[in-house]
Amino acid sequence: MKIVRFASATGPRLGILESDHIVDLVDAAFALDLPWLVPAFSDLRAFLAGGESLRETARNVAATAAVAAVPWRSVKTLAPFEAASKILAHVVNYAEHGKEGNIQPPERPFFFMKPSSAVTHPEAPIFVPEITDKLDHEVELAVVIGRAGRDIPAAKAYDYVGGYTVLNDVSCRDLQRNAGAEGLSKRYGQNWTQGKGLDTCCPIGPCVVLGDELPEPYPLDITCRVNGEIRQNASTDMMIFRVPALLADISRSLTLYPGDIVSTGSPAGGGVGTGKFLKAGDLVECEIERIGVLRNPIVERNAARLRGESSVRAAASRKSRSLAQP
């Protein structure tokens, strides 16, 4: 089953994605006079925490209610992420990515955090920050946690996975490496906060593929295109540390909650290796087999200020839809 989070007049809702149509679970619950299901069908964390029994209920409600499915493109898709959740992202997890950046892969899993304020939606713009000249793309498989857990054994890691989505770990490489103040890196390490956490630098989506449909995310093709040009192209089979090892390590004395995201690292082909960085006017498409395509246009921040961010978002969304592949 695939779950989509989308906007409505009453706030975010969840829907079941069937081909290119969505069944609105909130409307379906009301149609069957089951209003107590509405909170769980409006918050991804609550839905995931409900486990398999709630997912089965959602399937039955969607199949039984006299509610027409609506075209996916007719709704505004939101990132499958609630603001109170956390994003834990792994560093080099593909050997070739390490080579292109002259970075030795870690001996054991190593994570940093991206703030929830960096999250943006499918089709929404990624704004070019004024403080960077090296805006980079990084397509990544993201694990969506489905069950609270701490000190998770690797052998049981998949029991804590709710599903999978696509994440673009947009990075400001000059900020990350303290360009102009390299001595900071020697004393304090890389600038992970600004290098990875600026506004709109964490697109997520377009949906969550639950574990019943995708028990293990291997092997899956993982690709990033910029204006149709393939920049990154690999397989999740090439990961150094797989999902069980990642969850076991990051959950040591740190509780993972439903809705949290663990992003698994990016393959080679980013601007850090090619020298091709993102600029205003680009369209970035991050795609993972069996999950979908996460599309975002790159927009100049100053343009947004002049014209108003809301109008820019609408125009950017129209542009990305027109450029998108069928």
CATH number at residue 144: 3.90.850.10
3-state secondary structure of 166: strand
What is the number of structural domains in the chain?
Answer: 2
Are 42 and 87 members of one domain? no
Q: Is 137 in the same domain as 225?
A: yes
**Same-domain pairing of 159 and 118:** yes
Measured CA to CA, the distance from residue 196 to residue 176 in angstroms comes to 7
Reading the block at residue 25, the tokens are 């679970």
One domain for residues 126 and 264: yes
C-alpha neighbours within 13 Å on the C-beta side of residue 201: 25
Q: Do 127 and 37 sit in the same domain of this protein? A: no
One domain, residues 121 and 88: yes
Q: Which of 62, 77, 92 is the last residue of a domain?
A: 77
Domain boundary among 77, 111, 134: 77
How would you label 260-297 residue by residue, b for 16+ Cβ within 10 Å and e otherwise?
bbbbbbbbbbbbbbeebbbebebbbbbbbeebbbbbbb
Q: Are 284 and 126 in contact (CB under 8 A)?
A: yes
Question: Which residues are CB-neighbours of 88 under 8 A, at least 6 positions away?
Answer: 111, 112, 113, 250, 260, 261, 262, 263
pLDDT in tens, the chain (326 residues): 999 999 999 999 999 999 999 999 999 999 999 999 999 999 999 999 999 999 999 999 999 998 999 999 999 999 999 999 999 999 999 999 988 888 889 999 999 999 999 999 999 999 999 999 999 999 999 999 999 999 999 999 999 999 999 999 999 999 999 999 999 999 999 999 999 999 999 999 999 999 999 999 999 999 999 999 999 999 999 999 999 999 999 999 999 999 999 999 999 999 989 999 999 999 999 999 999 999 999 999 875 555 555 555 555 555 455 444 43
Give the whole-angstrom CA distance, residue 207 versus residue 176.
29
What range does the domain containing 284 cover? 79-323
Give the contacts of 246 (CB within 8 A, at least 6 positions apart): 90, 109, 143, 262, 264
Whole-model pTM: value is 0.92
Task: Tell me what pLDDT residue 150 has.
Answer: 98
| 274 & 139 share domain | yes
Q: Which residue(s) pair with 140 in the sheet?
A: 167
Question: Are residue 126 and residue 231 in the same domain, yes or no?
Answer: yes
Nearest to 50 by CA among 34, 38, 65: 38
Give the Cα separation of 244 and 218 in Å (integer): 12
Q: Judge if 107 and 242 occupy the same domain.
A: yes
Rounded Cα distance, 122 and 166, in Å: 10
Specify which residues 127 forms β-bridges with.
299
Q: Which of 4, 34, 45, 42 is nearest to 257 (CA)?
A: 45
User: Are 42 and 170 part of one and the same domain?
Assistant: no
Residues 94 and 61 in one domain: no
Whether 169 and 52 map to the same domain: the answer is no
